[in-house]
């Protein structure tokens, strides 16, 4: 087994620890302007009777209890961080595509709003109801439909868990082309719908390239069987692309055809200590030169992250690198020949040290050390969440600017006297995927103050938009960022998104209030 799977299980089991937010929905000023659309019907008993007639027994949860602490619906109504929570009283668990089709056809006719849900590991509220939308959860659609061991193409139900697929692929010598912290509970349908990125995107590319086909139920119940296993197919528009990253607003993904790469037989991991973000960039370019086809991840974090992890999540561990440093980088290689990969890595490390780009470094000697080193990077989010109320962002931009955002943010709050121990913003830190220009900037804030949250949203999003970056690199828009879409997208872009939404979901029942603003007005 590879390290990632082990860690992701820990991540999964520690999920309850992460729920630090108060049990109230997020209500920034923008979001509070959201009102339930009265175009949608309120749920009636005859609707529930219909759904019970379509689904196998025990595949319907209905609970009208309004106290979240008592409701059996809470695990489905609330998101991963418990920041976004709706008040649905109905969760449906279809076991087959035809059932999804019957459900959606009925909902479309009756004007009942729905929200598709997979493993519910998202962090933008995309998979949770905003009000009383019916939840359609894909957990019970979890069969691997087929696998071709010559082409490496797997066809799976939307509810198959990413790690389960990886475990299935292992004896065949293949692996999944994406890896993320939530691997142990996220589902393929959700991965596709959020266009999940993760740690090894720089190596295997994104889901727009790796998904070969999708089976999608459209809002009117039509089953769009686009489940091709072909690597090349230019017969008309590539329809599946519409649903990759659409966050369930255009249809419900029920099946996925995925191209899987060969499983690497050799994995190496090295940690570097560096003095500046300039040196991080130099080390990255040199890694692309020397490690080229075997470079599978290039992560970085700052000293604040390192020290917080030491304090909170790894108190018993010794620092892997003794000398204190401003920045750290973790680079991973995946290849097919250990001695070749080791030789390339050794040559690279000598070069970055001799060129004074890195001033110290360690290489993991075995699988256990690989796992231990990865923890310094992978437990950063956990460390900050355990340190109090955490603000977390997921932005992308030109690699050159990546850490400047953190520096500017610190200066911004320091100038206003808000930064530092015992202050409003404390534990301010930055880390991320250098290879993808993807920064996670996080901060602990005193208490849980929506105004403070909004203030930081403003700073981060303004900065990202001003520097031609993205306000969400991989987490998605969901309900969390829909209020900022009109600022970060041009009028033609928004117009086209609305045109697509109207063309596919003319009655607006699919995951309303999310992703594209101003859609329901025209329904």
What is the per-residue binding string for a copy of itself in 462-481, x denoting contact by CB under 8 A?
A: ------xxxxxxxxxx---x
Contacts of 493 (CB under 8 A, 6+ apart): none
Q: Scanning residues 289 to 348, which ones bind a copy of itself (CB under 8 A)?
A: 289-294, 334-337, 340, 343-344
Q: What is the spatial distance between Cα 212 and Cα 126, in angstroms, rounded to a whole number? A: 24
- Rounded to the nearest angstrom, the gap between the alpha carbon of residue 473 and the centroid of all alpha carbons in its chain is 9
CB of 59 to a copy of itself, least distance (A): 26
Stretch that binds a copy of itself, among 56-64, 98-106, 238-246, 317-325 (CB under 8 A): 238-246
23 binds a copy of itself (CB under 8 A): no
Nearest CB to a copy of itself, comparing residues 47 and 238: 238
DSSP tag of 216: E
What is the per-residue binding string for a copy of itself in 386-405, x denoting contact by CB under 8 A?
A: ----------xxxxx-----
- Cα distances (angstroms) measured from residue 203 to each of 284, 338, 395: 14, 18, 20
53 binds a copy of itself (CB under 8 A): no
Q: How many residues does the chain have?
A: 523
201 binds a copy of itself (CB under 8 A): yes
519 binds a copy of itself (CB under 8 A): no
Tokens 């939840």: give the residue.
135
Among 27, 109, 493, 522, binds a copy of itself (CB under 8 A): 493
Among 76, 93, 284, 425, binds a copy of itself (CB under 8 A): 284
* Angle between helix 450-466 and 404-415 (nearest 10): 140
Stretch that binds a copy of itself, among 137-145, 310-318, 433-441, 443-451 (CB under 8 A): 433-441
151 binds a copy of itself (CB under 8 A): yes
Q: For residues 107 and 113, is the Cβ–Cβ distance under 8 A?
A: yes
Q: What are the start-end ranges of the H helices in 58-161?
A: 74-77, 97-110
518 binds a copy of itself (CB under 8 A): no
436 binds a copy of itself (CB under 8 A): yes
Nearest CB to a copy of itself, comparing residues 60 and 500: 500
268 binds a copy of itself (CB under 8 A): no
179 binds a copy of itself (CB under 8 A): no
264 binds a copy of itself (CB under 8 A): yes
Q: What is the spatial distance between Cα 196 and Cα 201, in angstroms, rounded to a whole number? A: 9
SS (H, E, C) 446-512: CCCCHHHHHHHHHHHHHHHHHCCCECECCCCCCCCCHHHHHHHCCHHHHHHHHHHHHHHCCCCCECC
Q: What is the spatial distance between Cα 84 and Cα 89, in angstroms, rounded to a whole number? A: 16
99 binds a copy of itself (CB under 8 A): no
Stretch that binds a copy of itself, among 94-102, 183-191, 222-230, 411-419 (CB under 8 A): 222-230
438 binds a copy of itself (CB under 8 A): yes
């Amino acid at each position: 087994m590879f390290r990632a799977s082990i860690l992701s299980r820990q991540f999964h089991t520690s999920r309850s620890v992460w729920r630090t937010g108060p049990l109230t929905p997020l209500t920034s000023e923008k979001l509070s302007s959201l009102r339930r659309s009265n175009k949608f019907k309120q749920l009636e008993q005859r609707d529930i009777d219909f759904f019970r007639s379509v689904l196998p027994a025990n595949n319907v949860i209905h609970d009208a209890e309004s106290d979240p602490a008592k409701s059996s619906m809470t695990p489905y109504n609330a998101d991963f961080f418990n920041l976004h929570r709706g008040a649905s009283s109905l969760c449906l668990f279809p076991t087959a595509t035809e059932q999804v089709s019957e459900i959606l056809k009925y909902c479309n006719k009756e004007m009942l709003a729905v929200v598709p849900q997979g493993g519910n590991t998202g962090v933008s509220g995309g998979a949770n109801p905003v009000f009383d939308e019916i939840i359609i959860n894909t957990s019970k659609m979890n069969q691997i439909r087929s696998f071709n061991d010559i082409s490496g193409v797997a066809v799976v139900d939307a509810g198959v868990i990413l790690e389960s697929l990886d475990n299935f692929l292992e004896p065949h010598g293949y692996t999944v082309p994406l890896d993320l912290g939530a691997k142990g509970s996220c589902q393929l349908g959700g991965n596709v719908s959020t266009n999940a990125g993760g740690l090894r995107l720089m190596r295997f590319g994104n889901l727009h390239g790796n998904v070969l086909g999708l089976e999608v139920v459209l809002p009117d119940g039509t089953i769009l069987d686009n489940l091709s296993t072909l690597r090349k197919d230019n017969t008309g528009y590539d329809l599946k692309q519409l649903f990759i990253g659409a966050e369930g607003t255009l249809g419900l993904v029920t099946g996925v055809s995925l191209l899987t790469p060969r499983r690497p037989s050799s994995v190496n991991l090295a940690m570097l200590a560096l003095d500046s973000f300039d040196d991080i960039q130099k080390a990255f370019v040199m890694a692309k030169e020397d490690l080229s086809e075997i470079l599978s991840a290039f992560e970085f974090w700052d000293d604040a992250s390192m020290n917080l992890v030491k304090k909170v999540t790894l108190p018993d561990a010794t620092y892997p690198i003794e000398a204190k440093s401003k920045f750290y980088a973790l680079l991973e290689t995946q290849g097919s020949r250990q001695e070749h990969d080791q030789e390339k890595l050794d040559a690279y490390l000598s070069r970055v040290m001799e060129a004074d780009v890195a001033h110290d470094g360690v290489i993991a000697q075995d699988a256990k050390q690989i796992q231990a080193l990865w923890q310094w990077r992978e437990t950063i989010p956990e460390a900050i969440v355990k340190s109090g109320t955490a603000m977390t962002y997921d932005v992308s931009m030109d690699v050159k600017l990546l850490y400047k955002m953190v520096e500017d943010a610190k200066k911004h709050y320091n100038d206003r006297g808000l930064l530092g121990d015992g202050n409003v913003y404390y534990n301010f830190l930055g880390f991320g995927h250098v290879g993808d220009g993807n920064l996670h900037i996080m901060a602990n804030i005193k208490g849980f103050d929506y105004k403070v949250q909004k203030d930081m949203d403003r700073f981060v999003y303004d900065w990202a938009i001003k520097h031609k970056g993205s306000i969400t690199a991989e987490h998605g828009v969901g309900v969390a960022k829909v209020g900022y879409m009109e600022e970060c997208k041009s009028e033609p872009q928004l117009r086209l998104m609305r045109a697509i939404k109207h063309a596919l979901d003319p009655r607006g029942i699919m995951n309303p209030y999310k992703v594209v603003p101003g859609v329901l007005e025209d329904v």
